[in-house]
């Protein structure tokens, strides 16, 4: 892929804040030179040197991304969240995967920045734990692999492919990235995730902001598992819900059959040990260790509960 290929970097946001400015500044430091930056805030009168600012009003991220695509001049569109920033080789590394004409989209991890706070890092460790399942690859480095669900904070694709896929879904958020990936796969294209296509993504702090985000993820994934099963009905997505459901059933049965008490206690003990091992693998700091351990447990409970909620809903509203 030629280094002369123009790439449009599209950044949807609510407002141009410190995180947005950080993202823009790191985009300007990329080792790839031929790009334009398009920022789409709800409302802004700010003029930013070298940046196309398009005020949109309070629209969903999907609509903002589609407006960014519409106003873009690049052959490729590179999407990044306003609370993330790219490593200098982000675009250079991503473009090499498109030398294969079968590749329709590429992305990679959103790593926790070193400057994040103690509890932000704890949230990052929870998300990158093996107890999260396959989606943990979104939050840590892993070898290059073919994917079916690349997150929108680090997503690069040809503009023509995005248009052929029908653009970003404007109704659902989060989950619009899942639907974009599904549409690209239906075009017969491959999606590549690679550990060398890196952005740094500021985490939500444990516990309240993190769990609020997890609840949205869980509800949408549960609904999508029913409505869009092609890349959302994976067994690992059901595990937290099975955990919550099994615990409830076990407790109820224990009220009628005393031997179930021992089954429930054994299951809880096994889970606590497994989640503690997962926390130990992630971090060695004692204070951080127990925060991460508790974070893994409550993340499973919240995600699993909201997954079940999404699974039984007829539709979701923003």
CATH code where residue 86 lies:
3.90.550.10
Quote the pLDDT of residue 1: 61
Report pLDDT digits (tens) over 74-120: 999 999 999 999 999 999 999 999 999 999 999 999 999 999 999 99
Give residue 136's pLDDT. Answer: 83
Q: Which of 29-38, 137-146, 165-174, 264-273 has the lowest mean pLDDT?
A: 137-146
Residues 156 and 47 in one domain: yes
| Domain edge (last residue) among 182, 201, 220 | 201
Asked whether 46 and 76 are in contact (CB, 8 A), the reply is: no
Task: Calculate the alpha carbon distances from 97 to 1, 27, 263, 296 in Å.
Answer: 9, 20, 49, 34
The pLDDT value given to residue 125: 94
Residues 6+ apart with CB under 8 A from 217: 174, 303, 306
Q: How many domains does the chain have?
A: 2
Q: What is the pLDDT of residue 143?
A: 81
CB atoms within 10 A of CB 6: 13
Domain containing residue 133: 111-139+206-318
Examine the domain organization and report whether 284 and 267 are in the same domain.
Answer: yes
* Complete edge-to-edge strand list for the sheet that includes strand 7-12: 51-53, 35-40, 7-12, 76-80, 154-158, 103-107, 190-193, 145-147
Give how far Cα 199 sits from Cα of 89, 97, 103, 140, 275, Å: 10, 17, 20, 11, 27
Task: Decide if 1 is inside a domain.
Answer: no
- List strand residue ranges (DSSP E) for the chain, in order: 7-12, 35-40, 51-53, 76-80, 84-86, 103-107, 110-111, 145-147, 154-158, 190-193, 199-201
Residue 133 and residue 275 in one domain: yes
Domain end call among 201, 217, 233: 201
Neighbours of 2 (CB within 10 A): 7
Q: What is the pLDDT of residue 24?
A: 98
Greatest mean pLDDT range, 128-137, 176-185, 234-243: 176-185
Q: Model confidence at 318, in pLDDT bands (50, 70, 90)? A: low
pLDDT band of 269, cuts 50, 70, 90 = very high
Q: What's the rounded Cα separation, in Å, for the pair 200 and 82?
A: 11
Left (φ > 0), alpha (ψ -120 to 50) or beta: where does 188 sit? left
Whether residue 89 lies inside any domain: the answer is: yes
> How far apart (Å, rounded) are the C-alpha atoms in residues 196 and 5?
20
In a domain, 309, yes or no: yes
d(CA 112, CA 198): 11
Report the alpha-carbon angle 279-106-177, nearest 5. Answer: 70
Residues 126-177 pLDDT 10s: 999 988 877 787 888 878 899 999 999 999 999 999 999 999 999 999 999 9
């Amino acid at each position: 892929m030629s280094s002369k290929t123009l790439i449009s970097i599209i950044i949807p946001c609510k407002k141009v804040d410190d995180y947005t400015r950080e993202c823009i500044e790191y985009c300007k430091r990329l080792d790839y030179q031929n790009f334009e930056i398009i920022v789409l805030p709800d409302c802004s009168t700010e003029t930013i040197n070298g940046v196309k600012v398009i005020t949109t009003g309070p629209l969903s991220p999907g609509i903002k991304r589609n407006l960014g695509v519409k106003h873009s001049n690049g052959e490729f569109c590179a999407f990044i969240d306003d609370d993330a920033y790219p490593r200098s080789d982000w675009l250079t590394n991503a473009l090499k995967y498109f030398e294969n004409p079968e590749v329709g989209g590429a992305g990679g991890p959103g790593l926790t920045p070193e400057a994040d706070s103690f509890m932000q890092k704890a949230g990052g460790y929870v998300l990158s734990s093996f107890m999260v399942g396959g989606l943990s690859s979104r939050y840590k480095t892993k070898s290059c692999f073919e994917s079916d669900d690349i997150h929108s904070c680090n997503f690069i694709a040809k503009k023509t492919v995005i248009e052929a896929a029908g653009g970003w879904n404007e109704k659902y958020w989060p989950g619009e990235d899942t639907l974009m990936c599904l549409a690209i796969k239906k075009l017969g294209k491959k999606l590549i995730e690679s550990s060398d296509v890196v952005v740094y993504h500021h985490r939500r702090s444990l516990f309240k902001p993190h769990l609020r985000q997890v609840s949205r993820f869980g509800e949408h994934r549960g609904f999508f598992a029913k409505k869009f099963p092609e890349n959302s009905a994976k067994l690992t997505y059901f595990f937290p819900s099975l955990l919550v459901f099994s615990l409830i059933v076990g407790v109820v049965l224990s009220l009628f059959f005393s031997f179930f008490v021992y089954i429930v206690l054994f299951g809880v003990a096994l889970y606590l040990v497994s989640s503690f091992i997962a926390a130990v693998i992630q971090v060695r700091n004692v204070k951080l260790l127990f925060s991460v351990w508790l974070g893994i447990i409550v993340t499973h409970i919240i995600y699993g509960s909201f997954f079940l909620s999404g699974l039984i809903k007829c539709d979701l509203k923003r």
